[in-house]
Chains A and B, each alone.
Chain A
Amino acid sequence: MMIEDVSAWLVWVLPLIASLFVPLIGKYSAKARDYFVIAIASVTAALALSLVPGVIFGDGQAKIATISWISGLDAGVYIDPLAVLFTSLVAFFGLIITIYSLGYMKGEEGLTRYNYLLLLFIGSMIGLVLSDNLIQMFIFWEMVGLCSYSLISFWYKRPESVKAGTKVFIMTRIGDISLLAAIGILFTMFGTFSFRGIIDGIVLGGFDPELMVVVAFLVLGGAIAKSAQLPLFTWLYSAMEAPTSVSALLHAATMVKAGIYLLARFILIFSVAPVIIEALHPLWFPIVAWIGVLTAIIGASLALTTTDIKGVLAYSTISQIGFMMAGLGAAVEGAASVGWFSSLFHMISHAFFEGLGFLLAGGIIHAIGTRDMRLMGGLKKAMPISFILMAIMIITTSGLPPFAAFFSKGLVITSVTETGNLIQTILLYATAAITFAYSIRMFSLVFMGKESEHIQKQHVHESSKIMLIPAMVLAAFCIIWGISQPLIANFMHFELEHTLIGAFTSLETPIFLLLLLPTGLIAYYTYYKNNQTFRRVAAGKNPLTTMLNHAFFFDDVYNSIARGISKFSDGVRHFENTISVFPLKFGQSVVRIANVVHLYFDTKAYNSLDKLINGLSNTTLTGVSKMRKAPSASLRNYIAASVVGFIIIAVLIILTLGV
């Protein structure tokens, strides 16, 4: 038995099982609990690492191991480069975040719950990417949603947190039902849930390519909601109510990356049959690419206006995942396309720089107690290390050479350019330019200029070591990750024609850098130099700023839908309450009519009829009132009668029974 046979199971089972022990240990000692969690996270990371050699020296094909679970459906692991790439990422970030949480969450209430959910979150996400069948994947897919719900509403006493968590869960559920429909169709077509079975089924043929397009669209629906893409991206901004450590994990490795994994996985499966890729050409790929491109630019433009430091990072993630989607949309030749690889490569670099951004933002929020950037400024002096790290972060985010995103984002744009869609290419370049602008804006507002009043009032410290060291590790990766491109291509068993040198020498690089200049300058003058003219323009009231301030009105639309549903429900409830008294009202009106009749015909001629009606209505009335009051004495008689009756019948049964 190879080591990876064991570790492929343990790497997700261990955190899941260990999470159950967190409450037990937490009762005994808080310190032991914290170290236990870090130990488990370390072991998980080591287990994930142990899967890597098998993939590098393997043939790029999937290895599968299963155990029996539900009859007709085995639980299993599916080890291929894609799965191991995600596993390593999640396990690595799990470790980073558990260490960081030691510092960031120090002194918070409910840390046992926090740590429990953190391990559950990590285990579920690894379980998701290693699942060998759709049902198992879907279970973890939902559990990831459940964990983010619980962690986002971690501060459950704050109404905003609770609201945000609820919003996240409900919005992503919309995508989940779409994915469930896809699973249903696939099972109907191939009679199996397992990836291997579906691939075999596709190879054998006998499927309807058009139906596969439907499946692809339903899968896309799931990915859109989970990865916060147009039009369901608004939840990610609300999710900022989570503790920052959770946000870092959620953005870098778990939750939002699940959608990218899903699409990458399905493109990989579809690539088995050129017929399917062919069928996806007219609509699916362009739509994926367009969703990506539009989300990228919308996210970036919103990052330019929000005043919440975490909001900038949230919109930045939305925008960067837009890039990944665009890359997947450019994977017009299936998993062999540069688009597919570039998207995954960018996914990892995004994890590093966005994770870094959140860790630093967490430190800042921790230090000054606010998320509002208008209250910040001039933090350079008080937090010099954070300042340097943040500089690395924004350089990487903006895609300046030679840091990670330069290669990864560049590769995404190249792949989109190669599909020949000029408008998409231009929009992506524009997004890159805006990215540079919002990075400078955030950097200037937080670190540059004079110290704000808010900051002067308090004694601001640099973040503690335990929070800075994880950030430094991520910063180091931001710097070197881009150069590892050939290694990763090798790891993914992907034949990449684009070289590192090529990235520098291509025509696109100077264009890209030139484009950054104007936007960068505007942001520089507005926020760094605090140029009043620019500021006034930025603060002015015009249709564009209104749109941006309302985040393009998406949330307003959703809120009115939610209000509409709630109003409609009120109507239904009112209707229900009205009709449910109908039986009673009916009885009452019968009595009333009887009374009227009684009054009207109260003559001698109708005496006998009168008596009859009178008697009837009286009986009804007394009957009703008796039922209402139900004196307990008569009640006991009823019960006694029914018990006696029951016993008599039981005796009868026994007597008539011939055994």
Chain B
Amino acid sequence: MDYSLLAVFAIPAISIPFVYFTGKKSNKAAAIFVALIALVTLALLSTTVPAVLNNPDHRYVETYTWIPVLNSSFSLFVDGMSLSIAMISVVLIIAAAIFSINYMEGKKNVAVYYALLSMLSVGLVGVFITSNLILFYFCWEMMLIPAYFIVGNWGYRDSYKAAFKFFIFTHAGAVFVLLGLGALYMATGSTDMFQVQSALMTHGTDIARWILIALTGGFAVKMAIVPVHMWLPDAHSEAPATMSALLSGVIISAGAYAILRLSIGVVFPSVDAAFGVTFLHALAIFGIISAFFGSLIALVETDIKRLIAYSSIAHMGYIMFGISLFPTNVTAGTTVIVVSTAIAGTILHILSHAVSKGLFFLSAGAIMHQTETRDIREMGGLAGKMPFTTVSGTIAALSIAGAPPFACFISEVLIFVGAFQVINYDTFFLLPTAFMLVATVLSLAYSLRFISRVFLGTAKAKETPEHKQILEVPKYMKIALAIMVVMVILIGIYPTFFLNLIQTVQFG
């Protein structure tokens, strides 16, 4: 046994004070330090790839003894799903850190900012690589607190109001998560996901139902599924660009991951079949509502960041819909459900949405940074002035719209193809699938509206002498955008690396 995952957890954690002291000296050094630490994390994560691909159960596990009283061990693990999402998160952190070099220039307390960013990265990656419920919850909160401070302190306008809303909403969600996790421990006496899962099978389905609802409800708040989405537009639009990219890219996706891992993976097998089917149908309906609600508002929103934020709600709707396509037609007694087309598509969509939305928010941040406005009615014709950002922003918008050869296209296709496989045995999904297909037209519409209003047409932004000339973004922003562009195109053209990982995922 080697210590890769422990190092993934520990190295960024230990680096926090050093990041802080570097940040005291230099903004750039701290950013590069954070990026390097993240790069090391990425390398450590990738050492587990062969194990995940080749181990018989397609999991790579590290267990250390920890809190014996609670019968709890410090267990870290990765499988195809958690490994791929963790890797994408780390890539986003690298891009966000590099982007910060220019973005945070001349702002106050940058040292604290970078310390919080590394703290966030610990929690973020931790959520994905642990199978211990206590540690999971710890990381879950660890993700929230730094995010709250970053949004509040370095955000725009009423940032503390937005951050407060964010905190209250997601914390309320976290309370439900805690209730669910506590109930799991009470019922099974174990804090390890996999032990809990098999132990719960022997209990009655009543408790499992309630746990399922509590956990999913709690995670749905993080995912910003309508109607518990209200924190998201404010938090995303007031947050600094890097934080928006992380929030929208991976933090809300952590909610989707948690639903797949805990609600579906751990609790779902224990509920009775009829309730399970109803539960999935409910998820599908919430998914559709979110997709339409988000897309429709994005269609008329005039604030550049709120527009993208609503598009995140819409895409969480797609992901929720994808989760609802979890196969229920497997014969009783089989405990291992190898991932289906729709679920593979959903997990891939988590990744492709993360990189696309990360790129989208970073591009929007670059635009706001350069034009000093956030109203898309005042923009236009930026293609001539900021060609690089135009390309990156257009690629992001087109990916979000589901156009090839960009990332979201292939994952959406997989979700829809998988949906028809599900319709084959559950005709309920016929109508939801049709609705979701229509929603993709809406997402194309708002993306194109974004492109036309911001980049194309003629310049509307005032360029009177007191306003500075709009210039292309500085070097490090370009590098950060370029990293994300490469990821978006790479996943779009050759998703094989991630799909190979995802296909090894086993539920139950």
Chain A residues in the interface with B (C-beta under 8 A): 69-71, 135, 138-140, 142-143, 145-146, 149, 153, 156-157, 159, 162-163, 165-166, 169-170, 173-174, 177, 180-181, 183-185, 187-188, 565-566, 568-570, 572-573, 576, 579-580, 583, 627-628, 630, 632, 635-636, 638-639, 642-643, 646-647, 649-650, 653-654, 656-659
List, in ascending order, chain A residues with CB within 8 A of B424's CB: 188
Instruction: Please tell me which one of the listed residues B74, B145, B384, B419 contacts residue A653 in the complex, with CB atoms under 8 A apart.
Output: B74
Q: How far is the CB of B383 from chain A (nearest CB, A)?
A: 6
Given contacts A188-B420, A580-B233, contact A658 B452 (CB under 8 A): no
- How distant is the Cα of A494 from the Cα of B173 in the complex, in angstroms? 66
List the 5 closest pairs (A to B, CB-CB), nearest first: A184-B420, A658-B65, A177-B437, A569-B296, A156-B456
Contacts of A649 in B (CB 8 A): 138
A to B contact number (C-beta, < 8 Å): 169
Residues of B contacting A: mostly:
helix
Contacts of B282 in A (CB 8 A): none
Contact among A188, A639, A650 for B13, CB-based, below 8 A: A650
- Looking across the interface, which residue of chain B has its beta carbon closest to that of A659? B64
Is the beta-carbon distance between A566 and B138 smaller than 8 angstroms?
A: no
B438 near A177 with CB under 8 A, answer: yes
Question: From residue B288, how far is it (CB to closest CB) to chain A in Å?
Answer: 14
* Contact flag A635-B299 (CB < 8 Å), given A146-B403, A146-B404: no
Nearest CB to that of A567 among chain B residues? Answer: B300
Query: Once bound together, how far apart are the Cα atoms of A177 and B443, in whole Å?
Result: 12
Chain B residue nearest to A643 (CB atoms) is: B115
CB closest chain-B residue, reference A181: B437
* Residue of A with least CB distance to B492: A139
Most buried by A among B20, B301, B413, B442: B413
By secondary structure, the A interface counts as: helix
A188 with B423: CB separation less than 8 A: yes
The answer to whether residues A157 and B437 also contact, given A565-B299, A635-B153, A656-B67 and a CB cut-off of 8 A, is no
Given known pairs A157-B381, A169-B444, the reply for A146 and B420 (CB within 8 Å) is no
Chain A proximity mask over B108-142: 1 for CB below 8 Å, otherwise 0: 01001001100100000000000000000010001
Contact pick for A142, options B112, B404, B500, CB 8 Å: B404
Cβ-defined contact, B417 with A569, below 8 A: no
* Residues on the B chain within 8 Å of A580, using CB: 230, 233-234
Q: Determine how close the nearest CB of chain B comes to the CB of A658; give it in whole angstroms.
A: 4
Q: How far is the CB of B495 from chain A (nearest CB, A)?
A: 6
Q: Which of B160-168, B189-197, B476-484 contacts A (4 or more CB under 8 A)?
A: B160-168
User: What are the residues of chain A within 8 A of B506 when measuring CB–CB?
Assistant: none
Shortest C-beta distance, A206 to chain B (Å), equals 14
Which residues of chain B from 448 to 483 have a CB within 8 Å of any chain A CB? 448-449, 452, 455-458
Chain A neighbourhood of B6, CB < 8 A: 659
A583 to B456, CA, bound (A): 39
- Between A and B, 7 residue pairs with Cβ closer than 8 Å are A139-B409, A159-B457, A170-B441, A187-B417, A566-B299, A627-B161, A647-B16
| Contact residues in A for B496 (Cβ distance below 8 Å) | 69-71
Measured in the bound complex, the distance between the Cα atoms of B167 and A630 in whole Å is 14
Q: Which residues of B contact A188 (CB under 8 A)?
A: 417, 420-421, 423-424
- List of B residues within 8 angstroms of A143 by Cβ: 403-405
Which residue of chain B is the closest to A627 with respect to CB atoms? B164
A69: chain B residues within 8 A (beta carbon)? 494, 496
Verify if B503 is at the interface (C-beta below 8 Å from A). yes
Are A642 and B409 in contact (CB-based, < 8 A)?
no
Q: Which residues of A contact B449 (CB under 8 A)?
A: 166
What's the Cα separation between A166 and B394 when bound, in Å? Answer: 13
Q: Give the docked Cα–Cα distance between A636 and B299 (Å).
A: 39
Q: How far is the CA of A636 from the CA of B500 in the complex (A)?
A: 45
Bound: A635/B152 CA distance, A: 9
Q: Which residues of A contact B434 (CB under 8 A)?
A: 181
Please report the C-alpha to C-alpha distance between residue A639 and residue B437 in the assembled complex, in whole angstroms.
45
Whether A572 and B409, one on each chain, are in contact in the complex, defined by CB atoms closer than 8 angstroms, is no
Instruction: Determine the distance from Cα of A183 to Cα of B160 in the docked complex, in whole angstroms.
Output: 48
In the bound complex, do residue A568 and residue B456 qualify as a contact, i.e. CB atoms below 8 Å apart?
A: no
Q: Are A170 and B404 in contact (CB under 8 A)?
A: no
B413 touches A180 (CB 8 A): yes
The residue among B383, B405, B503 with the most chain A CB atoms within 10 A of its own CB is B405
Assess the B300–A156 pair: CB atoms within 8 A.
Answer: no
CA distance A653 to B123 in the complex (A): 14
